[in-house]
Amino acid sequence: MINRFPYIKVSGLFLAAPIMCCLFLMSCENSNEELQALSTKRIAVEEARNIESYLSQGGKMKARLTAPVMNRYQTDTPYIEFPKTLHVDFYNDSLKVESQLNAKFGRYKETQQKVFLRDSVVVFNIKKDTLRSDELWWDQNTQKFYTDKPVQIHQPDKTIFGNGLEADQSFNWWIIKQVTGEVLVPKQGFGALAPRDSTKRTDSTLARDTVKAIK
């Protein structure tokens, strides 16, 4: 989906735009405010279904995006929306999947080459590290994720809570800007402990404003 979607496969494409019939005939009966309101609605929308798009960087395929629906809005600053979920596979140089992304909604700003993700955003890698957030930005120029919203990092032995995050798009490293807490996962799992002992915080973690994990 980078470089203005160079490679896209779709099963159907539809073009829809409001038809402004008899605009000049109506102008004598409408105020300037009404005419301006009508003109702002003249936005062409291209709808495509069953999207399969590929991102190439440095001559190598880096990501594959799939989505059931894609809408492209033809405005002064064109943008693309994925209103019914999207999924992205991120590849290493050997074309093996090293991380994946899921979200219920995405908006791609073509001129900035950034994707805004929201609603149940999840990023996870092959090491079973999982990022969860309500909102996340994907900057395709820097190949990074970032957000200033609350985040959770789930790992096999603990879960870290915080506000704000920066990570590479392969999720090999990540930085939480402000850590607010940590929950340790016992080897037996939470079910093996009494409710009052099911969470444990570490003072050293809470004292840090920034935590960085390099995988």
What is the mean predicted confidence (pLDDT) over 63-88? 94
Structure tokens at 57: 């960087």
Under 8 Å between Cβ of 116 and 109: yes
Instruction: Determine the Cα–Cα distance for residues 175 and 160; give it in Å rounded to an integer.
Output: 11
Q: How confident is residue 207, by pLDDT bands cut at 50, 70 and 90?
A: very low
Q: Which residues of 103-135 are buried (b: 16+ CB within 10 A; e: fewer)?
A: bebbbbebeebbbbbbeebbbbbeeebbbbbeb
Give the CA angle between residues 118, 79, 53 to the nearest 5°. 80
12-26, 55-69, 103-117, 147-161: which range is least confident on average?
12-26
**For the chain, what is the mean pLDDT?**
77
Average pLDDT over residues 63-72: 95
pLDDT of residue 33: 61
Mean pLDDT of the 43-61 span = 87
User: What is the rounded CA–CA span in Å between residue 66 and residue 19?
Assistant: 31
- Note the pLDDT tens digit of each residue in 143-192: 999 999 999 999 999 999 999 999 999 899 999 999 999 998 776 554 44
Tell me the CATH architecture of domain 7-214: Sandwich (2.60)
- For the chain, domain boundaries: 7-214
Taking only the tens place, the pLDDT of each residue in 101-136 is 999 999 999 889 999 999 999 999 998 899 999 999
